[in-house]
Amino acid sequence: MTTFAPRASTSVTVGIPGTMRALVKHHAGPELRLDAARPVPTPGPRDVLIRVTHAGICGTDRHIWEWDAWAASRIPVGIVTGHEFVGKIVALGSAVSRYQLGQRVSAEGHISPGTGYNARTGAAHIADDMVILGVDRDGCFAEYVCVPEENVWPVHETIPDHIAAVLDPLGNAVHTVMEANVSAKTVLVTGVGIIGLMAVTVAKAAGASRIFVTDVDPRRLALARRLGAVEAYDVRQGSDWIKHVRSATHNGVDCLIEMSGHPGAISDGFSALRPGGTAALLGIPSKPFAFDLTNHVIFKGAKVLGINGRKMFETWYQMEALLLSGRLQLDEIITHQLPIADFAKGFGLMQSGEGIKIVLKV
């Protein structure tokens, strides 16, 4: 167990300006504003201050940008957005013991004081008392971000910045695929957006025997094939693909990785799952919907896993191991790197579908 020996001095903050540029949710409506003089956060005793170099735009950020019903109900106006990043430590709280100035780090964006039942029993990713960076407290679309020492993840020197900036969503994909236990098994990924595509390359690296995917975007289906899918079905052409999957497997895939959150895709995914198969669900439906629990889960004997966030920090260690194995193909998924001043273009590329993962250079 780590013991914290508080340093005699206060926080090290030499050379840090008082204000910074930051992408702020400036009103209860669409878009974000780049503020030029947001105060730089002050680290508490057990926090580190990080100079952000690269930050990924997430689907969550798009919800916040578009100000949909979820964002309106959850996001405090005035917050600095963003939760996926890499940067360098520039200040240490007085009690921080494990990190050094200049160290290149990312961070787990789910922050828990660690006092609740789940946090104390190895399930901090679903802790009751959790707050999320860039959702509930100021995030990383800024020159500086402050996070607790407990959440810091040191980035291996061989992992490039544009990949280190997207460890958060990659961790979602790794968590889902690892929970589904895909090794030597057939896998169906429903929905190949950013995390679905990441799940394809992770499943391939983790030893899935055959990967099938569905989507409605031919470009993403083609990319999924390049990443290792043997069959990629455009569901706009009907549901015959379910028969093909069943006949190519033992009456259905062993593992369903659900990444779309779309009611039709979820039902079809369960139709293509074999009796006794495992479904790992990460995609989030926008509202409750009718679902055939009797046939899709109960009679089928399906094992259903809800996936949220990343296990702290088992998923992070698995992700690093997979990255260092050299078997993950992420370069085609990260389609654009833009200066933060071009943030509006970044969100536009995401909305049009022209871009997949967009990384902002801060």
Residues that bind Zn ion (CB under 5 A): 58, 84, 168-169
Minimum Å gap between C-beta 220 and Zn ion is 18
Which residue, 140 or 257, has its beta carbon nearer to Zn ion? 140
Residue in 63, 83, 125, 296 annotated catalytic: 63
Could you tell me if 204 and 211 are in contact, meaning their C-beta atoms sit under 8 angstroms apart? yes
User: What letter would DSSP give residue 163?
Assistant: H
Minimum Å gap between C-beta 97 and Zn ion is 29
Question: Which of 55, 52, 33 has its CA nearest to residue 41?
Answer: 52
Which residue, 252 or 309, has its beta carbon nearer to Zn ion? 309
Which residue, 245 or 340, has its beta carbon nearer to Zn ion? 340
> Does 315 participate in catalysis according to the annotation?
no
Q: How far apart are CA 315 and CA 178, in angstroms?
A: 8
Q: How far apart are CA 5 and CA 104, in angstroms?
A: 23
Residue in 19, 27, 60, 110 annotated catalytic: 60
- The beta-strand segments (E) located in the chain are 19-24, 33-39, 47-57, 84-92, 104-107, 110-111, 131-132, 144-148, 152-154, 186-190, 210-215, 231-234, 253-258, 273-281, 303-306, 334-339, 357-361
> Does 250 participate in catalysis according to the annotation?
no
Minimum Å gap between C-beta 175 and Zn ion is 12
Which residue, 165 or 245, has its beta carbon nearer to Zn ion? 165
Could you tell me if 261 and 286 are in contact, meaning their C-beta atoms sit under 8 angstroms apart? yes
Listed in sequence order, the residues at least 6 apart from 326 whose beta carbon sits closer than 8 Å to its beta carbon are none
Which residue, 93 or 169, has its beta carbon nearer to Zn ion? 169
Could you tell me if 35 and 19 are in contact, meaning their C-beta atoms sit under 8 angstroms apart? no
Minimum Å gap between C-beta 172 and Zn ion is 7
Active-site annotation, residues: 60, 63
